């Protein structure tokens, strides 16, 4: 199927649910827009996708994704510009990363036509769900899962790829208290930590809950071998400003290659800041804090955007960081990134995919 010829059969809702949406009070991930894209993979190829009213799916209890975790996802956002057009932020990067995850999880690649045309047609149909409100966006969730009804352990022969969306506000409503994890492990070298695989998130829930019970919003993962080096935080990559330089762990097989992460690093370079992608040890952070050189810490992610970290906990001690208002680098980049995403600043890196209505 070529990008010019793919036409997606569409079944529209009889009545939109958009009246249920209060644009000024949007909670993350609770209300879903009217339609979803569904494409099935059978007999070695993707079948013609369909756009359907958002709704439940009927699954066999033996659906293999539910047992063995062949399930991957992406997260991306759409914004509305001053003319009312829809601006998608780096959707092709999400498409590429989905297929990197698919390869690691032994799943078929989704075609660019299905992903991009499906996305565009879905967004045209649900355009009214892209919030015009500052600080809000339409969060888009492409995902794929194995659909064989078979409980032997083997790669499934059948898959479903779906895209649905939900209007969202902030993922984290306040500056974060995070704790450095030195017992549990998210990912080891050679594992699937770089993939956006559902199981990576499921396995993180218990350690995260234990930290939450101690009063922290999220944890910061450390390496599996020594618990010595910083990896990423719950739903985000993590960055630090030490002595004026922006420093973040380099991506590896254990760390998700965040699209927001990469955008933030690019903007920091554009603004002339020193940027280092390298191992960051917990000791380095502690020493920088002691010397008064740990100036900023924050997470980056599609859902989280730029989430400021107020406090880092390590081995029984809370280390409070400088006031958020004074964080020149992360606050400056957050504003610049938001302006690009919403069409208020020139898109010098070709990150924005415009859907003119
Ligand atoms: C995202 O930032 O898009 C994520 O996928 C993180 C989370 C909501 C699971």
CATH number reported for the structural domain that contains residue 22 in this entry: 3.30.470.10
pLDDT for 133 equals: 87
Position 32 pLDDT exceeds 70: yes
Length, in residues, of the chain: 357
Which whole number is the average pLDDT over 322-346?
Answer: 98
Asked whether residue 244 falls in the same domain as residue 259, the answer is: yes
Asked whether residue 111 falls in the same domain as residue 235, the answer is: no
| Alpha carbon 334 to its chain's center | 16
Whether 354 maps to a domain, the answer reads: no
What is the CA(139)–ligand 1 centre distance, in A?
9
Choose which residue among 75, 140, 142, 238 to substitute to test ligand 1 binding: the one with the highest number of ligand atoms within 8 A of its C-beta.
Answer: 75
Asked whether residue 234 falls in the same domain as residue 112, the answer is: no
Asked whether residue 226 falls in the same domain as residue 147, the answer is: no
Residues flanking ligand 1, CB < 6 Å: 75, 201, 235, 301-304
Residue owning the nearest CA to atom 9 of ligand 1: 235
Of 23-32, 106-115, 132-141, the range with the lowest mean pLDDT is 23-32
Distance between start and end Cα atoms, the chain: 24
Structural domain harbouring 284? 176-341
pLDDT for 6 equals: 67
To the nearest whole percent, how much of the chain has pLDDT over 90? 93
Choose which residue among 29, 140, 301 to substitute to test ligand 1 binding: the one with the highest number of ligand atoms within 8 A of its C-beta.
Answer: 301
18 within 8 A of 123, measured Cβ to Cβ: no
Closest atom of ligand 1 to 303 CA is 2
What is the CA(175)–ligand 1 centre distance, in A?
17
Asked whether residue 130 falls in the same domain as residue 258, the answer is: no
Residue written as token pair 């790829």? 161
pLDDT for 2 equals: 43
Closest atom of ligand 1 to 302 CA is 2
Q: Is the dihedral of CA 222, 223, 229, 232 positive or negative?
A: negative
Give residue-wise pLDDT tens across range 152-173.
Answer: 999 999 999 999 999 998 898 8
What is the CA(131)–ligand 1 centre distance, in A?
19
**What string of DSSP letters covers 272-328?**
T--EEES--BHHHHHHHHHTT-EEEEEEEETTTEEEEEEEEEETTEEEEPPPGGG-H
Per-residue pLDDT band for 1 (boundaries 50, 70, 90) equals: very low
Whether 348 maps to a domain, the answer reads: no
Position 4 pLDDT exceeds 70: no
Asked whether residue 321 falls in the same domain as residue 292, the answer is: yes
Query: Across the strands, what pairs with 10?
Result: 51
Domain count, the chain: 2
Give residue-wise pLDDT tens across range 180-203.
Answer: 999 999 999 999 999 999 999 999
Position 321 pLDDT exceeds 60: yes
Whether 349 maps to a domain, the answer reads: no
Which whole number is the average pLDDT over 316-338?
Answer: 98
Position 3 pLDDT exceeds 60: no
Q: Is the dihedral of CA 135, 96, 71, 264 positive or negative?
A: negative
Give residue-wise pLDDT tens across range 81-120.
Answer: 999 999 999 999 999 999 999 999 999 999 999 999 999 9
Whether 259 maps to a domain, the answer reads: yes
**Stronger pLDDT, 261 or 2, i.e. the higher one:** 261
Residue owning the nearest CA to atom 6 of ligand 1: 235
Q: Which one, of 180, 165, 158, lies nearest residue 118 by Cα?
A: 165
Asked whether residue 196 falls in the same domain as residue 150, the answer is: no
**What is the distance between the alpha carbons of residues 121 and 112, in angstroms, rounded to a whole number?**
14
Which whole number is the average pLDDT over 283-300?
Answer: 98
Q: Could you write out the three-class secondary structure of 225-257?
A: CCCCEEEEECCEEEEEEECCEEEECCCCCCCCC
């Amino acid at each position: 199927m070529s990008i010019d010829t793919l036409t997606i059969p569409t079944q529209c809702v009889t009545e939109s649910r958009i009246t249920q949406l209060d644009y000024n009070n949007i909670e993350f991930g609770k209300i879903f827009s009217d339609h979803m894209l569904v494409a099935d993979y059978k007999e070695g190829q993707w079948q013609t996708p369909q756009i359907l009213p958002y709704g439940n799916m009927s699954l066999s209890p033996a659906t293999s994704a539910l047992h063995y975790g062949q399930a991957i996802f992406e997260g991306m956002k759409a914004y509305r510009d001053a003319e009312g057009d829809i601006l998608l932020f780096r959707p092709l990067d999400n498409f590429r990363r989905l297929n990197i995850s698919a390869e690691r999880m032994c799943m078929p690649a989704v075609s660019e036509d299905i992903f991009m045309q499906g996305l565009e047609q879905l967004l045209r149909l649900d355009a009214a769900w892209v919030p015009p409100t500052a600080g809000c966006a339409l969060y888009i969730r492409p995902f794929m899962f194995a659909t064989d009804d078979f409980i032997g352990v083997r790669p499934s022969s059948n898959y479903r790829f779906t895209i649905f969306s939900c209007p969202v506000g902030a993922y984290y409503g306040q500056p974060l208290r995070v704790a450095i994890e030195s017992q549990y492990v998210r990912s080891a070298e050679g594992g699937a930590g770089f993939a956006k695989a559902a199981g990576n998130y499921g396995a993180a829930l218990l350690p995260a809950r234990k930290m939450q019970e101690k009063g922290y919003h999220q944890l910061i993962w450390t390496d599996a071998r020594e618990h010595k080096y910083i990896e990423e935080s719950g739903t985000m990559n993590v960055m630090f400003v030490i002595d004026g330089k922006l420093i973040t762990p380099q991506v590896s097989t254990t760390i998700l290659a965040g699209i927001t992460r990469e955008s933030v690093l690019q903007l920091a370079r554009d603004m002339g800041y020193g940027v280092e992608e390298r191992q960051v040890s917990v000791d380095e952070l502690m020493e920088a804090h002691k010397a008064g050189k740990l100036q900023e810490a924050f997470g980056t992610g599609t859902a989280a955007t730029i989430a400021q970290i107020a406090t880092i906990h390590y081995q029984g001690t809370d280390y409070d960081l400088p006031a958020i208002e004074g964080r020149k680098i992360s606050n400056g980049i957050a504003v610049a990134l938001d302006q690009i995403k919403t069409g208020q600043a020139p898109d010098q890196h070709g990150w924005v995919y415009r859907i003119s209505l």
